[in-house]
Structure 1
């Protein structure tokens, strides 16, 4: 689960629109675009030829003067960079992309679709929500070029954009969750090395605890109505890193239950790691304090030496103070969380977003083809740091941020055992409901593993 950004003010939206408009006007003057809206479907290069800097958008031409609507949960300032990523495409092709972001996206999208007011596109971060929309009968299958563009992604990503074996939604972004944040400066001063295996990570944790001073781990799972989601990530990391992708897939579909010995064993591994009273919760208190510490604040003690490590996703970079140097020799950096079982090759857990169409007009298909291409992904990478694609067609030299590059390397590794965030794959009643509640009780109240697992299994929809 990925937290939703805060809502933008009206002022920020207006001020962002001014430079975007000026850039669009300048680009239009530099490029020739005399194509009309009568081109022959799906962005096949119909209409007059585009020249100059616009020539590379010829495959999408032929639909000038049309508008395509996009609805998502992405808000300013991230949405400003998203709109910037397609501004040149829009100026050159004449297809206006009208974007709307909302804090209530997950609840509003089904209402709009059911009411006959669906957007042309929705950017959906949860495969479970995608399946719900497909069930409505309103989702339109993608054109052939969008399907062909999936060849640049690891095959498993196509399955997350599919429902019952049919492909509906192209992946757009990705985030890397299998990271451990630490202070290179603190490690160097204490003589610690980045561990390359789970056993080495546990040995380092024990060494730090026995040395006194800062605790090896800090953590926080408080997140308002979403309290508990970081704990789901810890369990998912251990299940994937212990048993590999096949068992993970069976677990998120409930063919392997939470009460199964494999999952309760994984929970014992999490408990030995993040519920070890000698190892946590550096800077905040005991094990129970993890339940009341927000995920945003969880890593702060790393900067003061009160804890040494935090397991959190790549997007946690935004939580560090602005003057924090992030890098291999900086105030903070991250390393890949090792597999619990060394026999599992390079386990990587991540999340992402999927472009889902509710219309099949030619201009909609042209936008769909572009936003599923490595050319768009490269444009998006250039707009700002903190965004990563698992599209293998993106030139990795475009990533100027070291965390983005580290994440991109892991997410595009063809040998990696990649799996999507498990709670996002589970039914919402579990992955965004009972599992959050039960894992929070596990940390906050010391609830037993057996009861925690049984309560989640009992809540699973029939």
Structure 2
């Protein structure tokens, strides 16, 4: 999921201390007879929760994904106790070129044991090779217990359930500095029109640029721009048009999409409004998304559009709170109080059915793992067994509640649901071309012509 991409820096995988889990949420796997396992349950203190996974003598399970840097460290920490209790060594490899390299590895006959797919569209594309195995019984049982039907469907290809969800995020947050806004008398907008008015007000104040933006993300450069368009399509055209767009029931360059994208352009292609802390509009195409919001904390721009996971990407020591260094509001709709959000998530698919691999895959689909990882900070899960109180900040607590609120109009990140050649290909390229000067109709038409 685009929301899972992180700053493309080298990852050092080192040993991590065992995580002391207390008050874990989630039951043991629903069908112990279907579980993998060795001959004996673990006997170490604190390992009772892992008894049904079995014990393994130093077996390794390779896990490949897009998650890098501090979030990769937290990922390793999230299963440290599981490793100690089961004897499985989960060897995680993160890559900024996952989208391209997973296909290379599959075609070369060297797939990982497990892969964390950041887009359902890419999952479906790789599944088309026949290399991804159906989810084992234990994983399917966890998915049915802890995930909504919609989330299960995102991991289903051609009617077969392949991959359980992992983490989740809400897109479309607008990050800002509460103290800067209070000092300048700026108020959180309740509609898109108010956001436009606020942007113009900030620009005319000559205090800072209204927006700081970055589309850079290594091989995945361009995806942050698709998030802007998807958020505006959902809010300006509505969920029905959004659904028709991502399934190609209407053309990619339908007038409703052109209008939404032009409205985004009114903000981030305007040289008076961007790119605080970095330069002019042209810098957006290459500015790494991971640092693109940092000027908010430095008084160089007023707003940054990015998902809930961005909380974990601010410089170390940044306080995320209503009265902290940064806070965020969800991009409003055309009317005040419109509860519509886009979001994303990852999905764990398997290329091996070895017992140790199934054990890891089952654990990652559990509420116990979701609470473990979320309690470490920076991320969310739509797992229904997640206790929102485990989220690392008031903003993420609120985001978790939004994910679990049945009244929220939630739509999965559009490009993540599109065919991989579009959602993780031509759409990304189009956003780079567009922010570099190409007009809306041209780039959307190019994506339309690329739809398989």
Q: TM-score range by the shorter chain?
A: 0.7 to 0.9
- Which of 135, 155, 170 is residue 142 of structure 1 equivalent to? 135
TM-score with structure 2 setting the length: 0.86
Report the counterpart of residue 263 of structure 1 in structure 2.
257
Measured against aligned partners, the alpha-carbon deviations of 1:307-357 in whole angstroms (never above 9, x if no partner) come to: 3211122333344333433221122211111123568x5222222211111
Question: Deviation string for 1:64-106 (max 9, x for gaps)?
Answer: 6654332223344433322222222232233443433344433
1:180 aligns to 2:174 (yes or no): yes
Out of 78, 91, 106, which is 2:84 matched to? 91
**1:199 to 2:193 alignment:** yes
The reply on whether 1:442 has 2:440 as its aligned counterpart is no
In the TM superposition, residue 239 of structure 1 has moved relative to its aligned partner by 0.8
1:93-146 deviation line (CA, Å, top 9, x unaligned): 334434333444333333333344333211111212211222122222123332
**Offset at residue 147 of structure 1 (A):** 1.9
Rg larger in structure:
1
Q: 1:400 aligns with which of 386, 392, 416?
A: 392
Deviation at 1:297, TM superposition (A): 4.6
Q: Which is further off, 158-167 or 317-326?
A: 317-326
CA distance in 1, matches of 2:341, 2:96: 28
- Could you tell me which residue of structure 2 aligns to residue 30 of structure 1? none
Give, in whole Å, the separation in 2 of the partners of 1:85 and 1:225: 27
CA RMSD, Structure 1 to Structure 2 (Å): 3.1
Map residues 379-394 of structure 1 onto 2, 5 A cutoff.
379-382=372-375, 384-394=376-386
| Closer/same/farther in 2, CA of residues 307 and 101 from structure 1, 3 Å limit | closer
8 Å CA contact retained: 1:63, 1:362: no
What is the aligned partner in structure 1 of residue 27 from structure 2?
Answer: none
Tell me the distance in 1 between the aligned counterparts of 2:216 and 2:107.
Answer: 33
Counterpart mapping for 1:102-181 below 5 A: 102-150=95-143, 151-181=145-175
Distance in 2 of aligned mates of 1:290 and 1:318: 21
Q: For this pair of structures, how many residues does the alignment match? A: 439
1:313-462 aligned at under 5 Å gives the runs: 313-340=307-334, 345-382=338-375, 384-445=376-437, 447-461=438-452
8 A contact 2:96–2:219 mirrored in 1: no
Residues 183-233 of structure 1, C-alpha deviations (whole Å, 9 max, x = no match)? 100111122222233233233333334444334333233445544322211
1:61 is displaced (CA, Å) by: 2.6
Structure 1 residues 150-187: Cα deviation after superposition (integer angstroms, max 9, x where no partner): 23223322121111232110011112221001110011
Distance 2:268 2:62 in 1: 44
Q: Secondary structure at the match of 1:370?
A: helix
- CA displacement, residues 225-276 of structure 1 (integer Å, 9 cap, x when unaligned): 5443222111010011223333223212322212212111212221233334
Alignment correspondent of 1:70: 63
Aligned equivalents of 1:369, 1:243: Cα separation in 2: 39
Unaligned runs of 5+ in 1: 28-38
User: 252-261 or 300-309, which moves further after superposition?
Assistant: 300-309
Aligned to 2:49: 56
For residues 361-383 of structure 1, give each alpha carbon's deviation from its aligned partner in whole angstroms, at most 9, with x where no partner exists.
4443332222101111111123x
Aligned equivalents of 2:204, 2:172: Cα separation in 1: 26
